[in-house]
Amino acid sequence: MAKDKDKKQELIKNPKGTRDWSGEDVDLLEDILAQISRVFRRHAGKKLDTPVFEREEVLKGKYGEDSKLIYDLKDQGGELLSLRYDLTVPFARWLAMNSNIKNYKRFAISKVYRRDQPAIAKGRMREFYQCDIDFAGASDPMMADSEVIAIIVEVFESLEWTGRYTIKLNDRRILDGLFEVCGVPEEKIRTISSAVDKLDKMPWEEVKTEMVETKGLDEAVADKIKTYVTRKGGRDLLEELKKDEAMMANAKAKQGIEEMNTLMDYLEAWGALDKISFDLSLARGLDYYTGVIYEVVTEGSAPVIADGNSVAKEAQKQGRKEKKALGEDEDRSNDPSVGVGSVAAGGRYDHLVERFRPNADIPCVGISFGVDRIFSITKARIAKGETFSYVSSNAPDVYVMAFGGGGFDGMPKQRIQITKILLDAGLKVEFTYKKKPKPQVQFKNAENAGAPFAVILGEDEQAKGEVRVKEMGLPDGHPEKEGVLVKIAELGAEVSRRVNAKSMVAKTESMSVS
């Protein structure tokens, strides 16, 4: 029996690398997702909701080495299926199936699945949310791209992250041209690119060692790469590149540089130019990017964990250890929820749909927000006392009670009728599921629920068509400490008025604090 019980206890947990979203966490998550959706909708984004699994062949060969992280379903007869790894490939599959669609602004908010080594502190889960918008269809150079970057700015501004994020920006064509100019052999370009991408996490010397010793690059070539990839800035850096004869003689680099100029013009029009950092070390992991790439980093705002280290630092340490343990040598910078400080990432990918439908010719550009990480950072800021205007309370507005003396029946039907009146006024209402609950039990329940108001029924008041409305937690001596009598006919309007007035006061107070 004891053994049986132990066994039962052991079963009651959720799968490794997953979490149950409940309480204030799920409410904050929903508030964040609502803000992001609102921005997507303003930009005429249309929602797409695909199945959690895809036919195995759809995912196969899309994620390079990370394909080993895909969850497969058991073969129970019928199709072979896998859980989605991201939201981009299902979108490309959907575009390929709907060949009448030439243009589409699609957004998606869903969980994705990676059979990775979980690292909670690093925010690396096996099931996590992604929140993507992608513009499919023809665009003159950088027009759609600039709008995606404007969306990034609007999202973080609407989340009240002003001054706390930077959009790192680069272009695959500039990067590839740069490697050619420096003399990287064609076949080494992707692997050298992936080494460069680690410059945000390790010093140049380590990256150089990887290039020269692990990847066999000529040391002189590595040194030449350094003169480029350690540079970042804005229009100033762009002007330097325009004067770089070697770069401008390379067709790819030249096109990339000229279009980066166009992009900066458009970003200026969007009012987004001051949020970007043109960063020649940004490379991004995924193979399928063909033009502009970007990654959003947040510095100094990573949540602080118990021992005083920032999660970012801790994650870095832990990440390296785990990578070693897993024998991984590939960076996973394609995952916006993984990179230290990276909270969103994306770029242009012009040929993915063709993988499903030859000659489809549907160029795409998009962004994926790592919502779990945005959530963690926001939660840490709230814990430090910051307030956010979009974070709503989901506590009940009012708790319905009944008090009475000897022979009192608890008024269960009357409590239901009053509850219904308050619900119909749009209020959030609770009462105690006891036929005849004690006053102190009802007050305790109201307090636990966080209701700011109580409506109290009594037989005498009921006979006069009245109930008592009481604001919870008023100090002794307050003129309304014992509540005020309100006609039942006016109850919905009166309680609504009081609830709104109180929430206005709370808002003003929190604004003067922040």
Residues marked as binding for L-histidine?
86-88, 114, 130, 134, 284, 288-289
CB of 330 to a second copy, least distance (A): 19
Pull the structure tokens for residue 364: 């795409």
Q: Please report how close the Cβ of residue 208 comes to a second copy at its closest, in angstroms.
A: 36
Neighbours of 476 (CB within 10 A): 5
Angstrom distances, CA of residue 310 to CA of 16, 80, 304, 307, 315:
24, 42, 4, 9, 8
Asked if 504 and 389 touch (Cβ cutoff 8 Å), the reply is no
> Based on CB atoms, which residue is closest to a second copy, 23 or 473?
23
Distance CA 507, CA 3 (A): 54
Task: Spell out the residues 6+ positions from residue 382 whose beta carbon is closer than 8 angstroms to its own.
Answer: 28, 388, 391
Residue 144 lies near a second copy (rule: CB under 8 A):
yes
Stretch that binds a second copy, among 168-176, 190-198, 306-314, 427-435 (CB under 8 A): 427-435
Give the separation between CA 126 and CA 145, rounded to whole angstroms. 30
Choosing from 32, 87, 96, 352, the residue that interacts with a second copy (CB under 8 A) is: 96
Residue 325 interacts with a second copy (CB under 8 A): yes or no = no
Which residue of 127, 200, 244, 471 would you call a contact of a second copy, by CB under 8 A? 127
User: Of 326, 416, 493, 511, which one interacts with a second copy (CB under 8 A)?
Assistant: 416
**What are the CA-CA distances from residue 473 to residues 316, 350, 385, 441, 476 (Å)?**
46, 60, 22, 16, 9
**How far apart, in whole angstroms, are the C-alpha atoms of residue 210 and residue 212?**
6
- Taking the complex as a whole, the smallest distance from the CB of residue 26 to a second copy amounts, in Å, to 5
Long-range contacts of 96-99 (CB under 8 A, 24+ apart): 96/353, 96/356, 96/357, 96/360, 97/356, 99/357, 99/360
Rule CB under 8 A: which of 440-469 touch a second copy?
449
How near is the Cβ of 193 to a second copy at its closest, in Å?
28
Q: Using CB under 8 A, which residues numbered 148 to 167 contact a second copy?
A: 150, 154
If one asks whether residue 5 binds a second copy (CB under 8 A), the answer comes out as yes
> Is residue 31 involved in binding a second copy (CB under 8 A)?
no
Instruction: Between 154 and 176, name the residue whose CB sits nearer to a second copy.
Output: 154
- We find the least distance from the C-beta atom of residue 294 to a second copy, in angstroms, to be 18
What is the footprint of a second copy within residues 47-86 (CB under 8 A)?
Answer: 47-55, 57-58, 71-76, 78-79, 81, 83
**Contacts for 335 with CB less than 8 Å, ≥ 6 apart:** 114, 285, 345, 370
At residue 453, what are phi and psi to the nearest 5 degrees? Answer: -130, 150
- Of 182-221, binders to a second copy (CB under 8 A) are none
Number of residues binding to a second copy, judged by CB under 8 A: 93
Strands (E), 177-238: 232-233
Q: Scan residues 480-509 and list those touching a second copy (CB under 8 A).
A: none
Stretch that binds a second copy, among 206-214, 315-323, 337-345, 351-359 (CB under 8 A): 351-359
The answer to whether 398 and 456 have CB atoms below 8 angstroms apart is no
- Match 């029009």 to its residue by tokens: 269
**Pair of tokens at residue 507:** 């808002």
Q: List C-alpha distances in Å: 167 to 253, 294, 341.
A: 21, 6, 11
Contact 259, 153 (CB under 8 A): no
- Please state the closest distance from residue 253 (CB atom) to a second copy, in A: 22
Contact pick of 64, 233, 404, 412 for a second copy (by CB under 8 A): 412
Segment 32 to 51, residues that bind a second copy, using CB under 8 A: 41-44, 46-51
Closest to 180 measured CA to CA, from 243, 224, 234:
224
296 membership: H or E segment, kind and range: strand 292-297
Residue 420 binds a second copy (CB under 8 A): yes
Q: Residue 19 interacts with a second copy (CB under 8 A)?
A: yes
For tokens 């700011």, the residue is 452
Q: Which stretch in 147-155, 277-285, 296-304, 310-318 sits in contact with a second copy by CB under 8 A?
A: 147-155
263 binds a second copy (CB under 8 A): no
351 scored as a contact of a second copy (CB under 8 A): no
Judged by CB under 8 A, the residue of 255, 277, 417, 496 near a second copy is 417
Would you say 135 or 369 has its CB closer to a second copy? 135
14 binds a second copy (CB under 8 A): yes
When asked if residue 326 is in the footprint of a second copy (CB under 8 A), the reply is: no
Min CB(420)–a second copy separation in Å: 6
The answer to the question of residue 290 lying near a second copy (CB under 8 A) is no
Least distance to a second copy, CB of residue 81, Å: 6
CB of 451 to a second copy, least distance (A): 9
Q: What are the tokens at 196?
A: 């460069």
For the chain, the straight-line distance linking the first and the last C-alpha, in angstroms and rounded, comes to: 56
**Of 2, 11, 306, 463, which lies in the binding site for a second copy, with binding defined by CB under 8 A?**
11
By CB under 8 A, residue 471 contacts a second copy: no
Note whether 29 and 21 are within 8 A (CB).
yes
Annotated binding residues: 86-88, 114, 130, 134, 284, 288-289
